Amino acid sequence: MSALRLRSLTLSLAAVLVALLCATTLNARSSYEFRRADSATRQTCAALKKQLPFGRVTSQGLGPDYLLSVQIYYNQLQAKNFPACVVYPSSSSDVQTAIKAIKANNVQFAVKAGGHQFNNGWSSVDQGILIDFSRMTRKTYDAASQTGFYEPGNRWRDIYGYYAKWNVVPVGGRLGGVGTGLALGGGLSYLSAQYGLACDGFVQLDVVLADGSLVAARADNEYADLFKALKGGGNRFGVVTGYHVKLRPTGTFYSGVLIYEEKHFADVVKATVDFNENNQDPKAAIITTVDSIEVGGLLFGLGKLIILFNVYDGANPGSVFKAFEDIPHVADTRTPGSYFKAAQMLDVGTLSTGAYTSRVARYRPGSTKELDLLKNFQAWYAAHKGEYILATVDYQPVAQGTIAAGRAAGGNALDMKDGPHIWVNLLLAFDPNLPAAKQQALIESWKALEQSVPSDEDVVIFMNDAGDQPILQSYGTYPQLQATSRKYDPDQLFIKNQQGPQFSV
């Protein structure tokens, strides 16, 4: 045997041993979590193993399903939560069984679709019961009504790829790897200026309520209030097991990114503000991400850069992006292609496998707030060298067309006032193994950065990017959301037994 083959075999065996060691360690950890969970949770897990078909419930970390369920999260702080057991439903009926058992025993739980949620505990649970939708990935197409159906275990790339053969697409996430739970938080899309938020495309939602019943919520039936609450209200009202949505025609999209050096930050942000205030073409969409990469290498040879996402619904955008093109840039990846291609552009967040904290600032046009925040961000990253992995401030225009389309679709939970306005996502990644005190200090400094330029309070907080902020309280329908929660969940199972945006009580 050659030395090269021997070395290759040795490395392969070592990899297998490491994998087995990790799996065995995780198995021991999961068994420990099951033992230390309270008796009600252990009893619920045992009961669900009997009530559901074989393989639908596991508490064994040695299995690949459990490993993926507890470790694959965008925010690695969520991966530090170990459920007593994981339920893998394959139908709405399985979810009904799980919710009935969870309520009967009054135990903690979480629901995981794609695992992309920034907030620790919103899609993970420690010592409780995790409902993992990874096996619910069915999709259908109805040509006559131009509607589609998809289950919550899909990611947007799965959905866009499936509907591409018919040249249609639902309004959904801008990053293909994100899960469908995004739509329940509103969901800003490259198509939003034309068709509204992702939630505005809902036609019907299949929902498991707190009592375990399954209902079909629509705008024109007895569950119209529930339907509207779920259009941006998040996981506070029930577990959505099926999405029936409008589909939109697609053709060629011009998409890609422009990359800028730090010396042009102010020029690009100013152009972003001008685009938000003056653009009249609803087919054009941008995201301006101002990025500081402190640990883990450079991107395009830069540690400080702007990644400007351009997407145009059409092969030729004309001069709509000219203001950005006139600013000197170091790279331009924009080309015509499919919508699937547009959704597969660089996800800044994948530059880190760290822990995250996220916040949202929101501004109306006519001030210098966007530029003021940029200056404060530059001062922040200069003062925190070596303390984080990635810091990014992302400017996301919200066109008046987005708001108008939502109203035309019957309204949503956000009930936004006239725009345009801009949502700014402040996203910070850091080492999940930092001492707790250092983590908290970083988180507080990031919160202080967001609050250093006061938000305009009449602009709602974008749930998909928000942290520990009064999200629902910022919505125009807040009193109705409170009433809807009490009506369908009188014991407040979805408020008290799972984490998520909170009501004031």
pLDDT in tens, 450-483: 999 999 999 999 999 999 999 999 999 999 999 9
In this model, does residue 180 exceed pLDDT 70? yes
The reported pLDDT for the residue numbered 430 is 95
Average pLDDT taken over every residue of the chain: 91
pLDDT at 222 over 80: yes
Note whether 70 and 82 are within 8 A (CB).
yes
- pLDDT tens, 260-276? 999 999 999 999 999 99
As to burial, measured by CB atoms within 10 angstroms (0-12 exposed, 13-18 middle, 19+ buried), residue 496 is exposed
pLDDT grade, residue 28 (50/70/90)?
very low
Percent over 90 (pLDDT), the chain = 85
Model confidence at 349: pLDDT above 60: no
- CA dist 44 to 63, 107, 318, 430, Å? 20, 8, 60, 36
189: left (phi over 0), alpha (psi -120 to 50) or beta: beta
Q: What is the pLDDT of residue 30?
A: 53
pLDDT digits (tens, 9 = 90+) for 326-347: 999 999 999 999 999 999 987 6
Residue 214 clears pLDDT 90, i.e. is over it: yes
* pLDDT classification of 2: cutoffs 50, 70, 90: very low
More confident residue, 136 or 299: 136
pLDDT band of 351, cuts 50, 70, 90: low
Integer Rg of the chain from CA: 23
Q: Convert the pLDDT of each residue in 299-308 to its tens digit.
A: 778 899 999 9
Question: In the chain, what are the domain boundaries?
Answer: 24-132, 139-249+479-492, 253-474
> Rounded to whole angstroms, what are the CA distances from 145 to 149, 169, 231, 312?
12, 13, 21, 26
Selected from 3.30.365.10, 3.60.40.10, 3.40.50.2300, 3.30.465.10, the CATH number assigned to the domain covering 139-249+479-492 reads 3.30.465.10
Helix (H, G, I), strand (E, B) or coil at 341: helix
Residue 32 has pLDDT above 60, yes or no: no
Say whether pLDDT at 18 is over 50.
no
Looking at domain 24-132, which of 2.40.30.10, 3.30.43.10, 3.20.20.370, 2.60.40.10 is its CATH number?
3.30.43.10
Report pLDDT for 383: 97
- CB-based burial label for 298 (10 Å; 0-12, 13-18, 19+): exposed
11-15, 157-161, 304-308, 377-381 — which is least confidently predicted?
11-15
pLDDT in the model for residue 295? 78
Q: Judge whether residue 6 has pLDDT over 70.
A: no
Q: What is the pLDDT of residue 11?
A: 32
- Asked if the peptide bond before residue 83 counts as cis, ω within 30 degrees of 0, the response is no
229 pLDDT tier (thresholds 50, 70, 90): very high
Separation in Å, CA 157 to CA 142, 143, 177, 178, 309? 19, 21, 6, 8, 18
CA distance 450 to 377: 9
Q: What is the pLDDT of residue 4?
A: 28
**Element spanning 246, H or E:** strand 239-246
Q: What is the rounded average pLDDT of the residues 18-43?
A: 62
pLDDT at 67: 87
Lowest mean pLDDT among 22-31, 118-127, 200-209, 485-494: 22-31
- The CATH number of 253-474 is 3.40.462.20
Render the burial of 483-495: b for 16+ CB within 10 Å, e for the rest. ebbeebbeeebbb
